[in-house]
Amino acid sequence: MLKELARYGFALAVAVCLLVPSLGSADSNVSTVTITATVDSFAEWDVTSPAIEASDFDGHITSVDQAITALQTLTLYANVNTTITPTGGVNVGILSSETDTLTTSYKMSGDEIEDDAEWIVAGTGTGEFFAANTYSVTHEDGVGAYEVTLHVRAEGPGDRAPDAGDYTCGVVLTASWD
């Protein structure tokens, strides 16, 4: 008797298993949702107001004709070919106090840009740093983050001591794309 019950139980279990999927499919429906998100072309800096402080320089000017240097590294997040254009900000990019100026020079370096080999004097005249000087960043798929470094050099005059105090200026780095 146990063998017959086991056989009927097994047969009943098989029958239920075969019926359940067919019952379920009659009462269900499948829908696959396709999802699309869009990323526009853009370029943006990791920091919008970086600063080079007096303590960032490799010293203070303490003699005639002495130069000191500092740098600021920024990250440009870009998913498109980008052009960086430096322009003079505060004091037109020339380190100035209320009574004096220092010879101010710049150069740029970084990922995907052609590094400046020499210091370029600040100004808007031919051959000067803010005179239509641009840097191209060529986007590489899957990269999207590029280091760009602005180097600055401050130099006192060769024929006299510059006035004591803090000298300030600003540089605007504009990232643009088509």
Percent of the chain with pLDDT over 90: 80
* Residue 126 and residue 59 share a domain: yes
The CATH number of whichever domain residue 170 belongs to comes to 2.60.40.1090
Total domain count, the chain:
2
Q: Is the pTM of this model over 0.85?
A: no
Q: Is residue 36 included in any domain, yes or no?
A: no
Which residue range is the domain that position 21 belongs to?
A: 1-29
| Residue 3, H or E segment | helix 2-26
Structure tokens at 173: 């780095």
Q: pLDDT per residue over 104-161, tens digit each? A: 999 999 998 999 999 999 999 999 999 878 999 999 999 999 999 999 999 999 999 9
* Residue 95 and residue 11 share a domain: no
DSSP codes, 4-62? HHHHHHHHHHHHHHHHHHHHHHHT----PPP--------EEES-SS----GGGSSS---
